[in-house]
Amino acid sequence: MTAILEASGINAGFGANHVLHDVSLGVGEGELHGIFGLNGAGKSVLLKVMAGLVPAWSGTVRLAGDDVTTMAAEARVARGMGHVPQGRMVFADLTVEENLRIGAYTSRRRDRSGYEARLDGVYERLPMLVPLRSSLAGSLSGGQQAALAIGRALVNEPRVLLIDEPSAGLAPVVVEQLFDVLRSVAAATGLTMLLVEQNVAFGLRLVDTAHLLQSGRIVYEGPVASLDRDRLASLLGIGSMLGAGVGAALDGRAPRKAAPAKKAGRTRATPVEKAAPKKATAEKKAAPKKAAAAKQAGTKKAVTKKAPARKAR
């Protein structure tokens, strides 16, 4: 499938701090992808480069085949990109509907007559906002603000939605509600999503393809269904320090019956790791010869020990 959103060879950072190192990834239309990694791995910086909020030092960002690397964030929105920022960033002193109206700034300039229909579409997909439309955004709960931030991006009817840490600071029960909202929106609209998430269990349940970052480099990319707990822990660099929720999330995404396998995820191995399989293969091939030699040596030894017991007559 041709990527609707693509990053190629992205390098970026701040001042002398080089955060992203030659990062490349692609997201096909209608797909749900997630970027995971420890704090400081560069997840949010990568998403902001894609959204146009942080400039790329080098590399290319393409949206629907067009180079948008040097475009301003609002120009990317006009071309079909939506962004839900980390911390939700709602306008606390404005009402829910006023927040949505500001979110629709670019689409209202392009098509003012269709604004009401787009607004109704947001309320249809996020019905919890309907009774809150006249409430100040600052008075909403964390979960309601999360829904508002998503609605503010959806009001432009984007083709691609970038979401940065949507579950941060939310109670577990609200995280479950947010999961249902994002899954239902994706199912109803066929929207392409690229998610950055520190809550690994939440993210792995939501997305279908994972990209794992270590120190600004992608070390794995592939289907969530091809990951297991030990491999994930190893790639994230945290040993076995994963909660039970992560294991449950991976178990829930694993294939339940034999079927043509999806394309396996790609782990980018180090030179030492690349040499290890060759060494293991050589040792495996040599093992039968070693065993035969040992057996033959044992037989000769046994014969030698028994030989003195025979006396000539």
The predicted model gives 184-199 an average pLDDT of 90
pLDDT confidence of residue 272: 42
Q: Which two tokens stand for residue 90?
A: 């709602």
Residue 110 pLDDT > 70: yes
**Which residues have C-beta within 8 Å of that of residue 243, sequence separation ≥ 6?**
201
Q: Where is average pLDDT lowest: 104-118, 121-135, 207-221?
A: 104-118
Can you tell me the distance from the alpha carbon of 168 to that of 42, in angstroms, rounded to the nearest whole number? 17
Report whether pLDDT(192) > 60.
yes
Measured in degrees and rounded to the nearest 5, phi and psi for residue 42 equal: 110, 15
Which residue type is seen at 13? G
Reduced to 3 DSSP states, what percent helix, strand and coil does the chain have, rounded to the nearest 5? 50, 20, 30
* Mean pLDDT (the chain, rounded): 83
Per-residue pLDDT, 1: 58
pLDDT band for position 287 (50/70/90)?
A: low
What's the pTM value of the predicted model, to 2 decimals? Answer: 0.76
CATH number at 3-268: 3.40.50.300
- The pLDDT of 210-222, averaged and rounded, is 94
